A and B are shown apart, each in its own frame.
Chain A
Amino acid sequence: MSFLRLSEFVGKIKDTIDAEYYGETFKILAETTDIKIYYQKTYAFLKLIEKRGNEIIAEISASIWSNHFSIISKFQKETGQTLDQNLELLLEVEVQFHTRYGLRLSIVGIDSAFTLGKLEQQKDATLKLLLQKNPGFVFLKEGIYSSKNALTLIPEVVQNIALICAAGSDGRRDFVHELESNPWGMDYNIVEFNTQVQGEYAAKKMLEQLLKIEKHSDFFDCVCIVRGGGSNTDFTLFDDYELNLQLAKTGIPVFTGIGHERNVSIADLMASQYLKTPTKCAAFINEHNALYLSEIINIQNQMALAVEDLLYEERNGLEQYAGKVLLALDYYFKREKTELEYLHDKFGLMHPGNVVKRGFSLVRKNNKIVSKKADLKKDDKVLIELMDGIVNATITE
């Protein structure tokens, strides 16, 4: 009876497989599942499957070894998508067969462009669904999506901020630092609503916080959703349907600063203001408030000029009035003077001295002019004033 030892048999399988596949790479389309990434040990294990409906029709183990471990961070950085379960990926693989551990695929590359295309397709589908089901909250104008939230009026000064972020994150730190170091001395009231910003339940948690903030919409001037960038980030949560529907409905202006340069998420489109980073989000608020301050200072300056003009006009008016009064007084006094001079002349002619000079004589008794005969009696001493002198006389009869 002939037989092969297991190692010989498995070795033959390996030889057969190596003969066919060794040293070659293949591009395959597969869905990920059961993924375990060991960041410290720098390798990852996962399963690749293909489904038809809900049925798995193909399945194989796969790994990413240390020499290709960097493809994980490269993929996440390029796509903004965490390497996670249930992702359909275009992979570059090598076939490996180990006599003890069996068959597995070694992943040596992940096609980011394919994933980006898929994400865009998903995003597009979500946007269309949002628009179709919520025409009162989501709009499409000239090819650009926006929401009712984007039409919400931003208060003149944004001071009470509801901040959705991960506790103690870089994004939170950058945002708060930028606000607090503003050069205009503006003070802020920041209320944090901490949440997960990545992972399976991140969108749900964020939605809960958004709903909580909405209940206190009277108090807050805006909602800021911030998250720091980096390679290990997952932006797909910001394309979540339910989260974005609530964001579109929220009555307080929402500003996003979710730290990605890749492209624009649905949350960015639904938000009132889309800023690329938490720092830029805070800077926008500072500048928005500074604009108000500059308007107030401008009014103050204009007011000073207006008052100056007003006082100048008033003074000018008073000066003109004073001039008119002076002219009137001058005219009045001149007229009065002329009148007085006339009277002076007129009365001057009637002066007793002038009367005497004209050839008349004056009779005075006790230094009083005598004008009636009855004022005189016999023996009265009188003075007779003549043109050329005075004569003493006595009344004889």
Chain B
Amino acid sequence: MKKQTKKDISALGYSEIKERLNTIMDNLEKGNVEMESLEELLEEANQLIQACFTKIAKAEKISKKWLDQMGE
């Protein structure tokens, strides 16, 4: 499986995070994981979950400039 870098993960949307986690989960359940790459895979899963919780706990606020442009 292609590994996501930390930067890639932070740019993922909620759907993509869930999709990626489901893929990892699917591979784990089917045993399609080499033991040598298990730790790396779990690290990626952990990063995905953390990214998700971080995004939910801190919404990206809209900039004042953008609001001004909208006339609000």
Give the interface of A toward B (CB within 8 A). 155-157, 159-160, 184-189, 191-193, 212, 216, 219, 289, 292-293, 295-296, 299-300, 302-303, 306-307, 310, 313-314
Q: What residues on A are CB-neighbors of B24 within 8 Å?
A: 303
B1 to chain A, nearest CB (A): 14
Identify the closest chain A residue to B15 (Cβ): A156
* Interchain CB contact under 8 A, A303 and B31: no
The contact of A186 among B13, B29, B57, by CB within 8 Å, is B57
Best-buried of B42, B56, B57 by chain A (most CB within 10 Å): B56
Q: What residues on B are CB-neighbors of A189 within 8 Å?
A: 59-62
**Alpha-carbon distance A155/B14, docked complex (angstroms):** 8
**Alpha-carbon distance A310/B24, docked complex (angstroms):** 13
* Interchain CB contact under 8 A, A157 and B72: no
Interface size class of B (residues with CB under 8 A): 20 to 34
Chain B positions 8 through 38: 1 when the CB is less than 8 Å from some CB of chain A, otherwise 0: 0000011101100110110011010101001
Q: What residues on B are CB-neighbors of A160 within 8 Å?
A: 59-60, 62
Q: What residues on B are CB-neighbors of A300 within 8 Å?
A: 21, 45, 49
**Alpha-carbon distance A281/B29, docked complex (angstroms):** 38
The contact of B28 among A155, A156, A303, by CB within 8 Å, is A303
The contact of B38 among A186, A188, A191, A310, by CB within 8 Å, is A310
B9 to chain A, nearest CB (A): 14
The contact of B56 among A186, A299, A302, A314, by CB within 8 Å, is A186
If the complex has contacts A192-B72, A306-B25, A307-B28, are A299 and B59 also in contact, measured as CB distance less than 8 A? Answer: no
Q: What residues on A are CB-neighbors of B56 within 8 Å?
A: 157, 159, 184-187, 289, 293
If the complex has contacts A191-B72, A292-B14, A296-B21, are A314 and B35 also in contact, measured as CB distance less than 8 A? Answer: yes
**Alpha-carbon distance A160/B35, docked complex (angstroms):** 41
Q: Which 3 A-B pairs have the closest CB atoms?
A: A306-B28, A156-B14, A189-B59
* Interchain CB contact under 8 A, A295 and B18: yes
* Interchain CB contact under 8 A, B28 and A310: yes
Show 14 A/B contacts (Cβ-Cβ < 8 Å), sorted by A. A156-B18, A157-B55, A185-B56, A186-B56, A191-B72, A192-B72, A193-B72, A219-B62, A296-B18, A299-B25, A300-B45, A303-B42, A310-B31, A314-B35
* Interchain CB contact under 8 A, A212 and B70: yes
Q: What residues on B are CB-neighbors of A185 within 8 Å?
A: 56-57
* Interchain CB contact under 8 A, A306 and B57: no
B3 to chain A, nearest CB (A): 16
**Alpha-carbon distance A302/B25, docked complex (angstroms):** 8
* Interchain CB contact under 8 A, A306 and B29: yes
Q: What residues on B are CB-neighbors of A307 within 8 Å?
A: 28, 38, 42
Contacts beyond the supplied A186-B56, A296-B21, A303-B25: 5 A-B pairs with Cβ under 8 Å: A157-B55, A185-B57, A192-B72, A300-B49, A303-B24
**Alpha-carbon distance A155/B13, docked complex (angstroms):** 10
The contact of B67 among A191, A289, A306, A310, by CB within 8 Å, is A191
B42 to chain A, nearest CB (A): 7
**Alpha-carbon distance A113/B57, docked complex (angstroms):** 49
Q: What residues on A are CB-neighbors of B17 within 8 Å?
A: 296
**Alpha-carbon distance A292/B53, docked complex (angstroms):** 11
Chain B positions 45 through 72: 1 when the CB is less than 8 Å from some CB of chain A, otherwise 0: 1000100110111111110000100111
**Alpha-carbon distance A72/B54, docked complex (angstroms):** 52
Q: What residues on A are CB-neighbors of B15 within 8 Å?
A: 155-156
